[in-house]
Amino acid sequence: MSESDLLPGQNLAHLLPPSWKTEVSRWYAEDTPSFDWAGFVVGEEEQEAILWGKSGGVLAGVPFFDEVFKQAECTVEWLLPEGSVIPPNTKTKVAIVRGKARQLLLAERVGLNTLARCSGIASVSRRFRDLARAEGWKGVVAGTRKTTPGFRLIEKYGMMVGGVDPHRHDLSSMVMLKDNHIWATGSITQAIKSVRRVAGFSLLVNVECQNYEEANEAISAGANIVMLDNLLGEELHGAAKRLKEEWKGKREFLIETSGGIVEGGLKARLGPDIDILSTSAVHQSCPHVDFSLKIQPRQKQ
C-alpha cells in the first residue's frame, strides 16, 4: 500500500513499533563512536540546511530521517510528502532542516544514508507495481525476507511506500516450508501436519513447490499458499491453471510465483491464475536515490 492508497488520516509511519527509535541511537553509536572532530570546527550557531533530491525516485524514509535529526535536536520541514516522485535530471528542494551547525552535520550522513536506501527500494517497488498494473494484473507484487540484517524495518517500509506487499516480516509472521524443510522432514504432507500441530489455525502456511505434483500434495495437506518456485512459461501457467480448476469449490488457496524475477522478466510471470509475485529485486542491489544536505552559506561580513 502506497501513500496514494491510504485513507484520510492514515500514515504508514503509524505501523512502526515503539522500539524502532532505539535503532537510530545505535546508528549514531556506530557512526560517531568517539570524538566528533569536525563538529568542533563549526560550533553551535543556528543554521539552516536544504535537503536536495538529485536523482529521480520515490521519496521514502521520512519518519527515520525525522528521528535522526530529532535525536540531534534539529527540526525538519518537509516540502514534499512521502511517496512523492522526485523528477530525474533535476535538483529538487525536498526539505529544510534547522538546528545547530555541529548537530546538523552530526546527523547528516546517518540521515542521508537511511533516506537514500529507503527511497531506492520504494522507487524500484513502484516500478514493479506499475508494470504489473499496466498489464491489467490484479494480483499482489511482494518483496521477500532477503533483507539486510539490522535494516529490515526500513527496507520493508520502503516496499510499502513504493506500493508493494512486504511479504512476511520474519520467521514468526507466517509459516513458510521451503525445500530444505521438506527434505529434512521427509514429505510435504508430514511437514504441514507437524507445523499445524504447533502453529494452530491463525498462521498461514506457505509451501515452496518444485512442480505441479508437489503443489497438489501441499494443497491436499492444507497449505494456504503454494509457491511455484522457479517455474517458467507454460510449466508455471499450466500448473497454476490446472490446480485452480481441479480444486475449485473444494479448497481456497493462493498461488505464488517466485525465483529469479527481475524487472525485464516480470510480465512473463503474470497470469490469471497467479495471485502473488514475490521478488527480492525490489530491495536487493537496487540503486539508491541521491540526496544531499547543504548548509546555507553564511553572509560575508
Distances from the Cα of 299 to the Cα of 38, 46, 53, 296, angstroms: 21, 14, 25, 9
Extract the C-alpha cell encoding 120: 531506492
Q: Residue 129's closest CA among 162, 99, 94, 88?
A: 162
Q: How far is CA 99 from the centre of its chain?
A: 31
Helix (H, G, I), strand (E, B) or coil at 137: coil
Phi-psi group of 200: left, alpha or beta (phi > 0 → left; psi -120 to 50 → alpha; rest → beta): left
Contact (CB, 8 A) for 114 and 128:
no
Catalytic residue selected from 91, 146, 178, 294: 146
DSSP SS3 for 225: strand
Residues 194, 190: Cα–Cα separation, whole Å: 6
- Between CA 32 and CA 144 the distance in angstroms is 32
Q: Is 269 exposed, middle or buried (0-12, 13-18, 19+ CB in 10 A)?
A: buried
To which H or E segment does residue 58 belong?
strand 57-58
Q: Enumerate residues 6+ apart whose C-beta is below 8 A from 19.
A: none
Residue 175 · residue 203 · CB < 8 Å: yes
Does 300 qualify as catalytic in the annotation? no
Cα gap 51→78, rounded to integer Å: 9
Distance, in Å, from the CA atom of 51 to the CA atom of 110, rounded to the nearest integer, reads: 13
Ramachandran angles phi, psi of 294, nearest 5°? -125, 120
Q: Which residues are catalytic?
A: 146
